[in-house]
Amino acid sequence: MEPQQKEEIIDKATGFLGAVIGDATATADKEQRKTVTAMDVVFALKKNKDAWLNMTNSLNNQASTGNDSSGNVQTLPKNPSE
């Protein structure tokens, strides 16, 4: 895995987790609680499900087509040991 790809994965995962944590915290705040419950997190995950699917699909597409984040097409070896 190239450093750019690794950085992109980390950035997207960080953004997704930030959104989930923010939504879970907002739910607890709305209900005037100081504790975030497991159900707050479950609802936040359900709310952000599409963002997760879009992120994983884009990463899968990049891996299968050989496109890096800049849009350049890389040549993928037929044999993984190459």
pLDDT score of 79: 54
Where b means 16+ CB within 10 Å and e means fewer, 42-69 reads eebeeebeeeeeebeeeeeebeeeeeee
pLDDT for residue 70 is more than 70? no
Q: From CA 52, how far away is CA 31, in angstroms rounded?
A: 26
Q: Is position 65 within any domain?
A: no
Number of domains comprising the chain: 1
The range of the structural domain enclosing residue 25 comes to: 3-58
Q: Is position 69 within any domain?
A: no
Residue 71: pLDDT band (50, 70, 90) is low
Highest mean pLDDT among 5-9, 13-17, 66-70, 74-78: 13-17
